[in-house]
Amino acid sequence: MAGPRVLAANVVRAVPRVMTASATASLWRLSAQAGRARLSLTRAPRHCLRVASYSSSAGGAASSPPPPSTLSSSRPATIEVNGKTYTTDEWYNVPQTVLALTGRKLHLQKDHPVAITRQIIESKFSTATYKRYNEFDPVVSTIENFDSLGFPPDHVGRARSDTYYINETTLLRTHTSAHEAELFRASASDGYLISADVYRRDEVDRSHYPVFHQMEGARVWDRTKVPNGDVVAAIYADLAKLPTHDVKVEDPNPPHHPERNPLQSKHHSPEEAEAIAAHLKRSLELMVVEIFTRAKQAAARQDPNYVDEPLRVRWVEAYFPFTSPSWELEVYYQGDWLEVLGCGVSKQELFINADQPQQLGWAFGIGLERIAMLLFQIPDIRLFWSKDERFLSQFTGVQDNLDKLKRFVPFSKYPACWKDVSFWLRSTSAAGGNTAVANVHDFHENDLMEVVREVAGDVVEDVQLKDQFTHPKTGRKSMCYRINYRSLEKTLTNEEANDFHERVRQGLVEKLGVELR
Ligand code: PHE
């Protein structure tokens, strides 16, 4: 939250960011990317569920017994999601506001920009090979979301500060990769595409929302089913069937690297991994070229002065617990390199554990809102959830004719009204079993974000850490956050903003136990 923020095209921001109490996950990013400043489209940096090792001693990761409950004072005994009932326990941390969004399914709502983006991506993957799964339930087990993908037990992504838990072993999926293991086991096709809503506890700003949508894809080959058992030849034969494109692709790194991006040498020959990578890269380049070509066409149709610049894309090395080697695809857009998707050669353990040891292949994941924001020039992620006709009507008819795709024309922006809140955290010694008290060590910024969201919902545009210091004598820590209230639908009166703010202040006292200044 704090620290340098650059908003490019009002969509994405530069990393690295200054690490605040709850930004532990960005550690993954920083270590993996060696501090390279980049912009992210799959999801903000702290969300990408990558990075091998993470020490739980740095705080934030899940551990057993569960971390003290900070926000569960009014926990229901059971909850219902899409018609199914689940029993909660002390891990429960899903606010009603988030629960209410589980049924929206924006990726399936006709002519919604998220659904249009899904359709454009799907159009680049043949239905004969890639079976579609668009109706998976958002409630999954910790095994599906983490263990089946090789996430270590202390991985920061498992922390209650980052993930919505229903109970200790049940959560709202944080990514569509949660369905990889079951689909590999079912082995119903040579490939698949999943689109679904995913859930992550997070900060509040114009590119973050606790619910967003991802698309996941995979392609597998079976050693026992390819001609002459020659899987390399089979993969290259499939690659030869794909169209080509004329976009310049920078791919400076070797196809695998012993330290940075290892081959799974126990399972794959270099030729096999290279064949899979080649098929993966062409398939995803074709998808990205399609998206950005459509974005440019829409821009050119609407803006007679539009200057067409050649599309530039590049592959960079990445890390995910369930692929190796791994990459991200970046696109040069309005002066910055944007991370568009994550992908890699699937870890062979996934196939072995799915009783398909003879199969091998690749997988990718992409965040749909980020792509849609770029395609349609949508400036604020809250708009996707709006039922305002001034938003929705702008996309009518696009799914039936993608050439009708137009950039979003913002309706007037209502004035913002920001208010600061300052408070003391308890000093360390005050924790003593009191679970509702935020001290220096168990204060998670995402808990604050959630209090703000619960009180003011979509009326909050963003929340930023303005200031923090530790009192030299008492050792107590003080924090100041600036909350920017701005409705997408009307002008807020100062009274209304004050009312929200007062309730936020009370919520912080009640739920986090802070002392207001
Ligand atoms: N699930 C990953 C994420 O959310 C993306 C991914 C999917 C990476 C599949 C590799 C393979 O960041």
Question: Residue 156 in contact with residue 54, Cβ under 8 Å?
Answer: yes
Q: State the pLDDT at residue 307.
A: 86
Residue type, 344: G
Ligand 1 site: residues with CB under 6 angstroms?
42, 48-49, 175, 177, 216, 320, 323, 342-344, 363-365
Instruction: Name residue 151's beta-bridge partners.
Output: none
Alpha carbon of 360 to ligand 1 centroid (Å): 17
Residue 97: both structure tokens together: 């506001």
Burial of 426 (0-12, 13-18, 19+ CB in 10 A): buried
Q: State the pLDDT at residue 309.
A: 83
For the chain, residues with pLDDT lower than 70 are: 1-73, 428-441
Question: Residue 317 in contact with residue 329, Cβ under 8 Å?
Answer: no
Residue with CA closest to ligand 1 atom 10? 343
Class of domain 78-404: alpha beta
Residue with CA closest to ligand 1 atom 5? 365
The Cα–Cα gap between 110 and 185 comes to 31
Cα-based angle 155, 157, 162 (whole degrees, multiple of 5): 140
Query: Computed from CA positions of residues 25, 27, 33, 35, in that sequence, does the dihedral angle turn out positive or negative?
Result: positive
Let me know how long the chain is: 517
What is the number of the ligand 1 atom nearest to the C-alpha of 47? Answer: 12
Three-class SS of residue 5? Answer: coil
Q: State the pLDDT at residue 504.
A: 97
Pairing of strands 211-222, 191-199: antiparallel
Q: State the pLDDT at residue 366.
A: 98
What is the number of the ligand 1 atom nearest to the C-alpha of 180? Answer: 9
Q: State the pLDDT at residue 437.
A: 54
Q: Among candidates 91, 25, 37, which has minimal Cα distance to 63?
A: 91
What is the number of the ligand 1 atom nearest to the C-alpha of 366? Answer: 5
Alpha carbon of 386 to ligand 1 centroid (Å): 27
Q: State the pLDDT at residue 335.
A: 85
Residue type, 285: E
State phi, psi for 261 to the nearest 5 degrees: -155, 70
Question: Residue 372 in contact with residue 116, Cβ under 8 Å?
Answer: yes
Q: Which superfamily does 417-516 belong to?
A: Ferrodoxin-fold anticodon-binding domain (3.30.70.380)
Q: State the pLDDT at residue 502.
A: 97
What is the number of the ligand 1 atom nearest to the C-alpha of 42? Answer: 12
Q: State the pLDDT at residue 9.
A: 25
The domain ranges of the chain are 78-404, 417-516
Q: State the pLDDT at residue 58.
A: 32
Alpha carbon of 14 to ligand 1 centroid (Å): 20
pLDDT in tens, 72-124: 457 999 999 999 999 999 999 999 999 999 999 999 999 999 999 999 999 99
